[in-house]
Chains A and B, each alone.
Chain A
Amino acid sequence: ETGVTQTPRHLVMGMTNKKSLKCEQHLGHNAMYWYKQSAKKPLELMFVYNFKEQTENNSVPSRFSPECPNSSHLFLHLHTLQPEDSALYLCASSNIGRDGGEQFFGPGTRLTVL
C-alpha cells in the first residue's frame, strides 16, 4: 500500500469510551501531523512529530493523546471526548530538511461523539 493510510475511516463513540486512531505512511517521510477539520472551520493543527519527537502541541485538550512509536506510524488516543470533538481527523506526513514542502494527507477518520 502506498501513501498515507488511516484507520478506521469512520468511528462512533460515546463520551466514556476509549478509542485510538491509526495513521501509517509509506513514503519514508520524517514528520507526521494530526489535524482536526470541523465544518466551517479552518484546518486545525493538533500535533507535529519530527523524527518521532513531538515538536508541536497546539493547546490540545489532554483527552487527546498522541503516540509516535516510529517515523512511519502515528496514533491518536481518545478518551472521555465531548460532542464538540466530532470532526474529521486528518493525518499528514512530509519531509523536512528544507523550508516548506508538500504535505501528504490521509483520507481522514470521521469521528462522531454521542
Chain B
Amino acid sequence: GENVEQHPSTLSVQEGDSAVIKCTYSDSASNYFPWYKQELGKGPQLIIDIRSNVGEKKDQRIAVTLNKTAKHFSLHITETQPEDSAVYFCASSGGSYIPTFGRGTSLIVHP
C-alpha cells in the first residue's frame, strides 16, 4: 500500500518568515495530493491541493510543488502569521480513492 512520509514533525518560525513542509510518497499511481490544516478543537480542513498533471499551484500565501519523478511534494507558506499556527497534514491518493495521510507537522508561528 501507499506510504507517506512527512517532515518535519515540528516547525517553529518567526512571524513573517517562510515555512516549508515536505512529504514523500511511494505509490507511483498516486495522482492527487491535498494538504489539510487542523486547528485546535477542529477537524482537518483542505487548504490547497494539486494533481499530478501540474507541477506547482499557488493560492495567496500558500503554494504546493510536486515532483512526480522524485515522488515528493511540498507546502510553502510565505509571510507567516500567528493564525497559521496549526497542525498540517499532507496526503496522497489515486491508486485508491482512500487517501493516505502523513503524520502531521505542528507549525508554531511566534509573534
Contacts and interface: CB of A to CB of B under 8 A. Distances in A.
Interface of A: 4, 31, 33, 41-43, 45, 48, 56, 90, 92, 94, 96, 98-108
Given A105-B43, A107-B41, A99 B101 contact: no
Interface of B: 31-32, 34, 36, 41-46, 49, 51, 89, 93-95, 97-99, 101-104
Contact of A107 (B34, B42, B95): B42
Contacts of B51: 100
B94 A102 contact: no
Contact of B102 (A42, A48, A90, A100): A42
Nearest to A9: B41
25 contacts: A4-B43, A31-B97, A33-B98, A42-B102, A42-B103, A43-B104, A48-B98, A96-B97, A99-B31, A99-B32, A100-B34, A100-B93, A100-B94, A100-B99, A102-B34, A103-B44, A103-B99, A104-B46, A105-B36, A105-B44, A107-B41, A107-B42, A107-B43, A108-B42, A108-B43
Interface centre among B31, B97, B102 (most CB of A within 10 A): B97
A106 B43 contact: yes
**What does DSSP make chain A's interface, helix, strand, loop or mixed?**
loop
Contacts of B104: 42-43
Contact of A102 (B41, B49, B95): B49
Nearest to B100: A45
Nearest to B41: A107
Contacts of A94: 97
B84 to A, nearest CB: 19
Contact of A42 (B42, B45, B101): B101
Contacts of A56: 98
A43 B46 CA distance: 15
A31 B95 CA distance: 16
Q: Which 10 A-B pairs have the closest CB atoms?
A: A100-B32, A105-B43, A42-B103, A100-B93, A96-B97, A43-B101, A99-B94, A102-B46, A105-B44, A107-B43
